[in-house]
Homo-oligomer: A and B are copies of this chain.
């Protein structure tokens, strides 16, 4: 799990400050659980083990419970503390990020379901395993990095996550092309290949969620909303903007 850097300590009310720190710490705990869910799901793909499925289910339940708990805390902190400016921005971002974490966890569960399906199939196959491993490792790293970028409010690290997402998209697209060829050359593999394609799709979505989190970090640090910009435009926007704290 990403470590929380000490610079949330910028508030006049120390109690409020404690609450904000606790909220960020909760978000990172939830993130750690979503990461765990994903790591186990990827493991499941290379070596299926039904005990892993139980652990994933458990992590999923915790992630879901955290989503609701953090949303409630967000509402309660806003109602009691009436935050403005950067505190409010931080709290609203937390409320968006929980959604992305929950979604990333959901995709991880789908990956695990597919692993189960494939383990139970009559014709198990190793087709696509290397693609799953490559993309799986990449998006797992992206998710971890997006959380670390959040914990450290590190816009450069967040920008790297957005860059990695472009790479993952390219690997994903070329994996899909290669897998279509396998299908055409060996129609007996169609069922297995479809399975792998859904897994890759779910993993690619995790990369999107990590990128959303990273975009929120950039917004918090730079004050620039970079959603819906291309990576090149994002880089320009980020390079040219001073940090919010330095204005």
Contacts from A to B (Cβ < 8 Å)? 64, 67-68, 71, 74-75, 78-79, 82-85, 88-89, 92, 95-96, 99, 180, 183-184, 187, 190-191, 194, 197, 201, 225, 227-228
User: Shortest CB–CB separation between residue A173 and chain B, in angstroms?
Assistant: 12
B74:A92 contact, CB within 8 angstroms: yes
Q: A184-B190, A191-B180, A201-B201 in contact; A79/B88 too (CB < 8 A)?
A: yes
Complex Cα distance A187/B182, Å? 11
> Bound complex: CA of A36 vs CA of B85, how far in Å?
35
Give this chain's copy count: 2
Alpha-carbon gap, A68 to B194, bound state (A): 37
Cα–Cα distance between A83 and B76 once the two chains are bound (Å): 11
List of B residues within 8 angstroms of A187 by Cβ = 183-184, 187
Q: Point out the residue from B67, B75, B180 that lies within 8 Å of A190, measured CB to CB.
A: B180
Name the B residues within 8 Å of A84 (CB-CB): 79
Q: How far is the CA of A60 from the CA of B197 in the complex (A)?
A: 27
B75 near A228 with CB under 8 A, answer no
State A147–B226 Cα separation when bound (angstroms): 27
A selection of 17 A-B contacts at a CB cut-off of 8 Å is: A64-B227, A68-B225, A68-B227, A68-B228, A71-B92, A71-B225, A78-B78, A78-B92, A79-B83, A79-B84, A79-B85, A79-B88, A180-B194, A183-B190, A184-B187, A187-B187, A201-B201
Query: Which residues on B sit within 8 Å (CB–CB) of A68?
Result: 225, 227-228
